[in-house]
Structure 1
C-alpha cells in the first residue's frame, strides 16, 4: 500500500463528453502522473478546439490543470436558453393559476 504523501505513477481518470442533449459518452483510462486535462481529452478522442468549456467534477478548470487520481473530466455545452428566461416563458404558457407559488395545493387531511 502506498504512503498518503506518495504520488501514484499512473492516474485513473474518467472523461465524460456531452455529445448532444441527453447523451453522454464516458471513457475511463489510465494516464501517466502529471498529465493535464487537455491530455485526457485528447486520449478520449475529443476535438479540444471545438469545446465550449471543460471542468473537473462539475467545476470549471483550465486545459492546463494537472489531473489527480480519480478525477472526472467533463465537457460542457453552451446553454441555448437562459434558465431564467425559460422559467418565465413556462410560467406564462402555463398560466398564473397553474404554476409556481400560486398553485392551490390540496390540504392534507389529519
Structure 2
C-alpha cells in the first residue's frame, strides 16, 4: 500500500500547531493522531477521547483518511456561546445607559 500525506491541527490558548505526517493508506483518524507527536507536546491532552474532525466536519475514530486530509483536534468550549452573547449584550446595554 502507498503512503499518504496528512496534517493534524491543534490550537490551544497559548499556541497553534500543525503536524505534517506520512501514513499508510487505510490509516484511521485516531491511529494517525496516536502516531503524531501531539501527545508528547501536549501531555495534558487526552488523545484517546478528544473529539476529532476532518476539514471542520466531525469524524469518528474509525474514519479512514484520504490523501491531504487535515485532522482537527477539538477542545471543549470554555463557555456556552449563547450565554456568552447574552452576557456581552447585557454589558453593552449597561455601558450605554
TM-score between both structures, scaled by the size of structure 2: 0.80
Residues paired across the two proteins, number: 89
Gaps of 5+ in 2: 40-45
| Candidates 31, 45, 52, aligned match of 1:39 | 31
- Please tell me whether Structure 1 or Structure 2 has the larger radius of gyration of its CA atoms: 1
- Structure 2 counterpart of 1:15: 8
Greater relative CO (CA pairs within 8 A, separation 6+):
2
Q: TM-score, normalised by structure 1?
A: 0.72
Question: Superposition RMSD on alpha carbons, in Å?
Answer: 2.0
Indicate whether 1:30 and 2:22 are aligned. Answer: yes
Q: Which runs of 5+ in 1 are unaligned?
A: 1-7, 99-110
